[in-house]
Amino acid sequence: MTHRIDQSTIPDALKNFDSLPDSANVRQPVVQALYGCSSATIWRMVKRGTLPTPRKLSERITVWNVGDLRKALGG
């Protein structure tokens, strides 16, 4: 059985992550996809210090800095 990924469901920020400037910000679904883990795991990683602390833009919008994520990913 061949698995196909529907390209329309992948956020543009994830598709183009390598071309984003270090000053860009991404939301949690992109971070989850980069690390291939759940929301709970993302927050555990932040608490442990293995993932950069996100920034709150508003009450309901939390973002991670792309440059910080690249450093955490080792790139």
Q: How far is it, in rounded angstroms, from Cα 18 to Cα 26?
A: 12
pTM (2 decimals)?
A: 0.82
CA distances (Å), origin 38, targets 33, 35, 45? 9, 9, 11
Asked, for residue 61, whether it belongs to a domain, the answer is: yes
Number of folded domains that form the chain: 1
Asked, for residue 4, whether it belongs to a domain, the answer is: no
The boundaries of the domain holding residue 29 are 23-73
Maximum Cα–Cα distance across the chain = 44
* pLDDT over threshold 70, residue 6: no
Asked, for residue 17, whether it belongs to a domain, the answer is: no
* pLDDT over threshold 90, residue 5: no
Asked, for residue 50, whether it belongs to a domain, the answer is: yes
Asked, for residue 35, whether it belongs to a domain, the answer is: yes
Asked, for residue 62, whether it belongs to a domain, the answer is: yes
User: CA angle at residue 12 from 6 to 18, to 5 degrees?
Assistant: 115
* Banded pLDDT at 75 (limits 50, 70, 90): low
pLDDT in tens, 40-55: 999 999 999 999 999 9
CB of 66 closer than 8 Å to CB of 22: yes
